[in-house]
Structure 1
C-alpha cells in the first residue's frame, strides 16, 4: 500500500510540475491543461463513418471540384501520369456456343508479366458496331466462377428462389453468368474479367503484396492495380472490331461496384454506369482493393459516383450499408444532375427485402437502364430469360494448349516494373527550358497538391479567434490566436510578436517544439530577437502534434494496411503542412502585412519546404533546414514523416524545386539529393541565383540575415 501511495504521490508531483511548466510558457494561448478543440486530436475517420455529399451551388463550382477531384484520384490510384498503355496482344480462344451468344476465353498483359483474364460474351446474328459492357465481378466466392451451390449448398439455392431474389435455378446458382448472358442476348459485347487474386488471376494473392511502407511511398496499391486493369479491360473491349466505342456500359456489384464508379470517375469512355450495392453514405468498402491512401479524404462514394454526371448513373441497394441510398445519396445526386438539366439521368432502387446481392430483381433494373441508355431497342420491361450455364471449370482461360504465360510474375516483380516505369517518366520531366518546366510543374505540382490534399486558403476561408487581452512586454506587442479553416474542426494556436517599429515584414516561425521555442529562460532566443531587431514581426505556430496542439500520442495508423487510415485521414506530415498554410494565409490577411517569409528550423525544415510550393506568391523568401532528410529513409507506415507517394514523385528535392523562381535558402542539405531537381529547375526558370544551398548547418544568425537582408 505504501508503494502505491508513493507512486500516486509521484504522479501527482509530475502532473504539478507539468502544470507549472505550462504556466511558465509565455506563448501559451489556452490555460494550462487545456487543449485546442481540434478533431485531429481525436480518433481518425474510418471506412465505417458517415460520408454525406453536399451538392455544389452551381454547375461552375461543380466543374472545378470535379476536375480537382479527378486529378487527385489519378494520383492516389498511382495513375498520374498514366502508366504506358501499348497495344494489347490478347489471346482469345475456346469459343463456347449458346443459343443466342457465344463465350470466349481471354487473357492479356496489362503490365509486362501481369495478366488480366476473363470471358467474352458476344451476341450471335448481329451486324455492325455493337454496344460494349464491362463487368467487374466483386467479392463473390471464386468471382467469375461463382456457384451458389458450391458456396452455400442446396439451401442457399432454394433460399434465392423462395425469397424471389431469383426466378430460375440457373440464375440462383450462377447469377454472375446470368448477367452476362442476358446482356449478350440484348445485343451487347460483354467482357467479364477477374479481380486480382480471384478465379484465373492467381499471380498475386488477393489482399497481398502492396501493404508495406515502400508501396505507400510509391502509391503502388492493390486498388490502383485493379483500376488500371479495368482501364486496360476497357482498352481491350474498344479494340474489338464489333464494339461501338461510343456506347459503353460498366456494371458490377459490391467490390465490382466500387470498380464501376471509380473507372467511370476517371475514364471518359463509358456512356452509362450501374454500380450495384456499393454507393452509400455508410460503409465505403472493406477490402484493400477498395481503399488506397488519399482516396476518400474530404469525399465519399456518393460524390465519387457523382463524378460521372451528367451521364446516366443507375444504382441498387439492399439490406446492407446501401439500404438508405434512396433517401441518403440519391436526392443529393438528383440535385447535382439538376444542374445539368438531366435529373432523370440518375436512379437508385433499394430492395431491402434482400441481403447484399446482385440478384435478378436488381439485375432487371440494370437491364432496363442499359436498354434505354445504350439504345438496345429491346421491348420493355426487359425480363431476364432462362439460360444454359457453363460449368465454371470450362470458363477457365488457361488450359494445356493455352497455359499461363511463362513471363507471368508476382507482386515483387510487378512492383519493380511499376517503379522502373515511373522512374523513367520522372526522369523525362527534368526541365531544360520553359516548356518542359511547365510540364514538370503540371505533373509534380498536381501530385503535391493531391498528396497534401490542400492549397493556400483565401483570407475569407480563415477563421481566427483572438485569445486574451492585448499585451505589451519588453517593447513588443503580443497577440495570441486560435486559427482554423471555416467548416473544419481545427484550432491551431499561434502567437504574434512585433515591435513598435514593425515594418510590415512577417516571419512565419516553424519549429519542432512549436512556438514555445521562441523563448528560453523567459527571454527571446537569439534568432527571434534578431528578427524583431530587424523590424520584422514573428508569427509562431504550433502545427499538429507540437506545442499546445499535441496530445502526446502518435497518430494511429492501421498496421495491416495504411490505406485504411490514409484513405480517410491526412498523414501527420500533410496536416503539419496544412497548418503552415493556414498560418501563411492568416499572416497575409493582416492589414499591416507587406511581406511574408517562411522559416523552418531543425526537423521542421522539411515541413516548411513541402508547404512553400503551395504558397504561390504569398511568400517571398524561404529559409529551411534540410535536416539530412530523404523520404526513402522512411521505413514504417506510422513514421511521422510518412507521405504516401513522395518517393514516386522525386521526394523532397522535386517538391522543393516547385518553389522556383522564388527565393530559397536550404542549409544542412548534405545527403538529401536536393541538387538533383533544384539546380535544373531553377536554371530552367532563369533563376539559378535565387536558390542557395549549403551542405552544412548554417548559424541562426546567418539564416535570419539571409531572410531579412
Structure 2
C-alpha cells in the first residue's frame, strides 16, 4: 500500500491532460439519454420524505428476524446520534443540593455532568424517608419533557405541568428525576436547544445526540443513588419527551417499563431537530423504534386531538404484533384520552396504573390515584436560582471543539491500537452513515437503450436502474472496436463533477483520460451522478435542491440521502453493473471535483480494483469541503476517508491532488494503519 501512498505525494499529473488532451478520431456526439422534455423518473427526486410522510409497519416473519432488525435499529440510533462508538465516560460526576422538605415528598436540585464541560439540569423528587426502614430502596422513574413553554418549570394548564407527575411518583413510592431538554428551562444558560449547523453535524454533535446522551447519563445517575433499586427503572415523557423515552429504551435495556405519551405515530415522526437525527428514518419509523421495548412492559398513551388519534387501529396493533412474537401480548397496552396534545391528569393516571402493575402489583390501585398538589415555587426548583453555573462549563464553541478533538482521538485510538472491535465498530458506523451499498446483480436493469456505431467503436446510451432504491442514472458506455482481452478490469468508470458531458471537448471530441483507455482497448463508462448532467435538466431536481437549501426542509437528511450519499450510491451501481456485464471488476477514476465521491465509495466498492481519486480544489480547512462539497452528517464522526481506506482492505487506491498537509498526513496515517492491520 505504501507504493500508492508515494503516488499520492507526487505533484498532480495523473489527470493533467483532462482539459486539453488528445482526442478520439471520431466525435462523441450527443450524450443525453432522455429526449428533450422527458422526465427522469428517479425516486430520490420524485419521492422525497418528511416527518409527515405516512408509513406502513412491516411486520417481521419471525422473532429471529425481528431481533436482527431490533439490533440494527439500536445501532442506527446510536450512529445517527453520534454516539457510536459511545464517548469515553469517566467517573459519574453530579451535585445534589438545596433540598426542600414537603409534607410527603422532598425535592432537590441536580447538576449532572454529561460531556466534559456540559451539564444536565433537573430536579430529584423522593419519597419521605421511611422511619421504619431508613435504608429502603425504591423504583426509579426518569421524566424527560416535551416542547412546552417553560417545560420543567411550567406553572400553566394541567396538560403540561411536569411537576404534577414528579410529585405523584414520589408520593407513590418512586425516586423521580425530572431533567431538562437541552436548552430548555435552566439548561438555556448552557446551550441553545437548536445549537449547531452543518459542521457540528459532520462530527455527530447534534441536539438529538446531546439529549439521548443526557438520558443515558440520567439513567446512570438514577441507578447510582443509594435509595434506588437499580434494576427497576421506568421512563415516561410526552411529545418530545415521548421521543426521548422511546429513543432511550431502544438503546438501553435497563429501562424496565415505559410510557411514551402522545408521540408514536405512523404519520408524524416529530418536528424538532432534537427528534430528527440525520439518517435515522431513511428506512425505519417511530413504530419500529417504539416496538424495540418488547417484551418489556409498554403503555402507549394517545389522544383524539393529535397525531396519535389512530393508535388503537394502527400503531398499537403494529407494536402488539411484536409482543405476540415473544408471546407476551399482555405486556403492551394503550389508553386513548379525549383531548388535544397533552400529558393531563387522565394521561398521567394511565401511566401511574401501568407502572404500579409492573413495580407495585401487590398494592391496591387506590394508592396510585393522583392527589391534589401544589407546585413548588420556581426558585425552589430552578437549579441556578442561587447556585452559580459550574466554573468548568464550556461555551458552545469551546464545547464543540473539545468534542471534535475527543472524537478524532477516539477514531485513531481504535484504528491504530487495533482493538479487536475497531473495524467492526467504524465499518458499521460508516455503512449506516452513508446508507448506501452495492446492489445485487439481480437488482440492476437498464432502459432507454440506444446503440450508436462510431467507426470501429460503439457508443451505448441508457439508464442504469435499481428498482429497490429508485435510481435511474443516465449512462454512456464507449466500447473500442478492438478489446484488450488480457485486461484485468471490465471497464473504466470515469466520474466527472459535471457528469458524462464533462468528458467531451470542443467539436464533440472525447477528451483524456477516456480516449486513452479506449485506445488501449478498455471500455469506458461514464454516468451522471445525482445532481449532475441530465439530473439538473429535470424539474424535480429544483424541488430537491430547494428542500436541501438553508431555507428548505430542516430535517431533510433524516429522511432522505444527501446529494453526496446519492452520488456514492450511483458510483456503486455503475461499478457493480460493470462487474455484471464484463465478469471483471471496474476501475473507478474520480476526476478533480469528483475525487472525493470516489474516495468515499472506495471502501464500499467491492466490485472494483486499483481506483484513483484526485482531490484537487478541495478545501479541507475547518471542514470546508465536507460542509460544502461532500456533505453527509456524521461523516467525520465515522472516520470519512480514513475508514473508507481501511474498509477497502487489500484493494488499493491511488490518491493525489490534496494540497492540505493535515489531510495528507491523515490519509497516510490511514494507509499505514491498513498495512499494520493486515491490508495490502
Q: TM-score range by the shorter chain?
A: 0.7 to 0.9
Alignment partner, residue 612 of structure 1: 602
Q: TM-score, normalised by structure 1?
A: 0.82
Q: Residue 185 in 1 paired to residue 191 in 2? A: no
Looking at structure 1, the residues matched to 160 and 74 of structure 2 have their Cα atoms a distance apart, in angstroms, of 35
* Structure 1 counterpart SS, 2:170: helix
Residue 507 (structure 1) shift: 2.1
186-195 or 487-496: bigger deviation: 487-496
> Counterparts in 2 of 1:254-403, with a 5 A limit?
254-318=239-303, 319-351=305-337, 353-380=338-365, 384-398=369-383, 402-403=387-388
Residue 568 (structure 1) shift: 2.0
Residue 569 (structure 1) shift: 1.9
CA contact (8 A) 1:508 1:538 kept: yes
Residue among 25, 30, 35 paired with 2:34: 30
The 1:70–1:25 alpha-carbon spacing in structure 2 relative to 1, beyond 3 Å, is: farther
Alignment partner, residue 214 of structure 2: 229
CA contact (8 A) 2:297 2:332 kept: yes
CA contact (8 A) 2:415 2:673 kept: no
The 1:312–1:492 alpha-carbon spacing in structure 2 relative to 1, beyond 3 Å, is: farther
Alignment partner, residue 6 of structure 2: none
Alignment root-mean-square deviation, CA: 3.0
Q: Residue 579 in 1 paired to residue 570 in 2? A: yes
The 1:207–1:283 alpha-carbon spacing in structure 2 relative to 1, beyond 3 Å, is: same
> Counterparts in 2 of 1:683-698, with a 5 A limit?
683-686=672-675
Q: Residue 647 in 1 paired to residue 651 in 2? A: no
Residue 350 (structure 1) shift: 2.9
Residue 355 (structure 1) shift: 0.3
Residue 144 (structure 1) shift: 1.5
The 1:73–1:498 alpha-carbon spacing in structure 2 relative to 1, beyond 3 Å, is: same
Q: Residue 452 in 1 paired to residue 443 in 2? A: no
Q: Please list the CA deviations of residues 255-302 of structure 1 after superposition, one character each: whole Å capped at 9, or x if unmatched.
A: 111111111122232112111111112232222222232232222222
Residue 506 (structure 1) shift: 2.5
The 1:385–1:310 alpha-carbon spacing in structure 2 relative to 1, beyond 3 Å, is: closer
CA contact (8 A) 2:517 2:523 kept: yes
Q: Please list the CA deviations of residues 36-66 of structure 1 after superposition, one character each: whole Å capped at 9, or x if unmatched.
A: 1113334743223223332233333333333
Name stretches of at least 5 consecutive residues in structure 1 with no aligned partner: 1-22, 149-156, 158-171, 692-709
Q: Please list the CA deviations of residues 648-689 of structure 1 after superposition, one character each: whole Å capped at 9, or x if unmatched.
A: 445434533433321211122332645434434433443899
The 1:392–1:196 alpha-carbon spacing in structure 2 relative to 1, beyond 3 Å, is: farther
Looking at structure 2, the residues matched to 355 and 402 of structure 1 have their Cα atoms a distance apart, in angstroms, of 37
* Structure 2 counterpart SS, 1:556: helix
> Counterparts in 2 of 1:532-551, with a 5 A limit?
532-550=518-536, 551=538
Q: Please list the CA deviations of residues 303-351 of structure 1 after superposition, one character each: whole Å capped at 9, or x if unmatched.
A: 2222333322221222112212222322222223333332333333332
> Counterparts in 2 of 1:35-434, with a 5 A limit?
35-42=39-46, 44-124=48-128, 125=130, 128-148=136-156, 172=158, 175-204=161-190, 206-210=192-196, 212-318=197-303, 319-351=305-337, 353-380=338-365, 384-398=369-383, 402-431=387-416
CA contact (8 A) 2:601 2:644 kept: no
The 1:476–1:555 alpha-carbon spacing in structure 2 relative to 1, beyond 3 Å, is: farther
CA contact (8 A) 1:653 1:672 kept: no
* Structure 2 counterpart SS, 1:431: helix
The 1:638–1:680 alpha-carbon spacing in structure 2 relative to 1, beyond 3 Å, is: closer
CA contact (8 A) 2:120 2:179 kept: yes
Residue among 483, 486, 511 paired with 2:467: 486
CA contact (8 A) 2:207 2:274 kept: yes
Residue among 590, 598, 602 paired with 2:588: 598
CA contact (8 A) 1:115 1:408 kept: yes
Looking at structure 2, the residues matched to 555 and 534 of structure 1 have their Cα atoms a distance apart, in angstroms, of 43
CA contact (8 A) 1:631 1:646 kept: no
Q: Please list the CA deviations of residues 221-278 of structure 1 after superposition, one character each: whole Å capped at 9, or x if unmatched.
A: 1222122111111110011122222221110001111111111122232112111111
Looking at structure 2, the residues matched to 290 and 563 of structure 1 have their Cα atoms a distance apart, in angstroms, of 12
Q: Please list the CA deviations of residues 370-410 of structure 1 after superposition, one character each: whole Å capped at 9, or x if unmatched.
A: 22233553334875231432323253254676443233343
Looking at structure 2, the residues matched to 581 and 107 of structure 1 have their Cα atoms a distance apart, in angstroms, of 48
Looking at structure 2, the residues matched to 446 and 196 of structure 1 have their Cα atoms a distance apart, in angstroms, of 28
Alignment partner, residue 698 of structure 1: none
Residue 99 (structure 1) shift: 4.5
Residue 449 (structure 1) shift: 1.5
The 1:55–1:653 alpha-carbon spacing in structure 2 relative to 1, beyond 3 Å, is: same
Looking at both structures, which has the greater relative contact order when contacts are Cα pairs under 8 Å and sequence separation is at least 6?
2
The 1:670–1:581 alpha-carbon spacing in structure 2 relative to 1, beyond 3 Å, is: same
Q: Residue 465 in 1 paired to residue 446 in 2? A: yes
Looking at structure 1, the residues matched to 154 and 386 of structure 2 have their Cα atoms a distance apart, in angstroms, of 24
Looking at structure 1, the residues matched to 248 and 411 of structure 2 have their Cα atoms a distance apart, in angstroms, of 25
Structure 1 segments of 4+ aligned residues over 6 angstroms from their partners: 687-691
CA contact (8 A) 2:159 2:343 kept: no
* Structure 1 counterpart SS, 2:58: coil
* Structure 2 counterpart SS, 1:120: strand
Looking at structure 2, the residues matched to 270 and 566 of structure 1 have their Cα atoms a distance apart, in angstroms, of 29
Looking at structure 2, the residues matched to 488 and 190 of structure 1 have their Cα atoms a distance apart, in angstroms, of 46
The 1:102–1:687 alpha-carbon spacing in structure 2 relative to 1, beyond 3 Å, is: closer
* Structure 1 counterpart SS, 2:56: coil
Looking at structure 2, the residues matched to 65 and 588 of structure 1 have their Cα atoms a distance apart, in angstroms, of 30
Looking at structure 1, the residues matched to 620 and 288 of structure 2 have their Cα atoms a distance apart, in angstroms, of 32
Residue 206 (structure 1) shift: 4.0
CA contact (8 A) 1:470 1:479 kept: yes
Residue among 418, 439, 456 paired with 1:475: 456
Q: Residue 442 in 1 paired to residue 446 in 2? A: no
Looking at structure 1, the residues matched to 463 and 384 of structure 2 have their Cα atoms a distance apart, in angstroms, of 67
131-140 or 396-405: bigger deviation: 396-405
Looking at structure 1, the residues matched to 568 and 301 of structure 2 have their Cα atoms a distance apart, in angstroms, of 40
* Structure 2 counterpart SS, 1:567: helix
Alignment partner, residue 13 of structure 2: none
Looking at structure 1, the residues matched to 54 and 621 of structure 2 have their Cα atoms a distance apart, in angstroms, of 35
Name stretches of at least 5 consecutive residues in structure 2 with no aligned partner: 1-26
Q: Please list the CA deviations of residues 472-497 of structure 1 after superposition, one character each: whole Å capped at 9, or x if unmatched.
A: 44334544433333343331122333
Looking at structure 2, the residues matched to 60 and 538 of structure 1 have their Cα atoms a distance apart, in angstroms, of 44
* Structure 1 counterpart SS, 2:185: coil
